[in-house]
Chains A and B, each alone.
Chain A
Amino acid sequence: MRPDRAVVGRAANIPPPPDRDEFLIRFETGELAVRQALGTLMGRLAPLGLTADTLGQTEIVVAEVLNNIVEHAYDIAGEVSLAVQVLPDSLRFTSVDAGHALPSSLLTTGSMPDIPVDPLDLPEGGFGWAMIRELTETLHYRRIEGQNHLSFSIRCGKNMQ
Chain B
Amino acid sequence: MQISTQDHAGCRVVTVDDARIDAAVAIAFKDRMRELTDAGPIHIVLDLSAVDFIDSSGLGAIVAAMKQLGGGRKLALAGLSDNVEKVFRLTRMDTVFAIHSSADAAVQAHAA
Binding site for B on A (CB under 8 A): 31-32, 34-35, 52-53, 56-57, 59-60, 63-64, 67, 70-71, 112-113, 115, 119-120, 122-125, 127-128, 130-131, 134-135
What are 26 A-B contacts with C-beta separation under 8 Å?
A34-B23, A35-B22, A59-B53, A59-B83, A60-B83, A63-B22, A63-B55, A64-B55, A67-B22, A67-B56, A67-B57, A71-B23, A113-B91, A115-B95, A119-B67, A123-B63, A124-B60, A124-B63, A124-B64, A125-B56, A127-B91, A128-B55, A130-B90, A131-B90, A131-B91, A135-B90
Q: How far is the CB of A53 from chain B (nearest CB, A)?
A: 8
Total A-B pairs in contact (CB under 8 Å)? 77
Q: When chains A and B are docked, how far (Å) is the Cα of A115 from the Cα of B88?
A: 12
Known contacts A64-B55, A119-B67; A31/B24 CB under 8 A: yes
Q: Which of A52, A57, A64, A122 contacts B56 (CB 8 A)?
A: A64
Q: Among A34, A35, A127, A128, which residue has the most Cβ atoms of chain B within 10 A?
A: A127
Tell yes or no: B45 within 8 A of A by CB. no
Main secondary structure of the interface of B (DSSP, over half): helix
Binding site for A on B (CB under 8 A): 20, 22-24, 53, 55-57, 59-61, 63-64, 66-67, 70-71, 82-83, 86-87, 90-93, 95-96
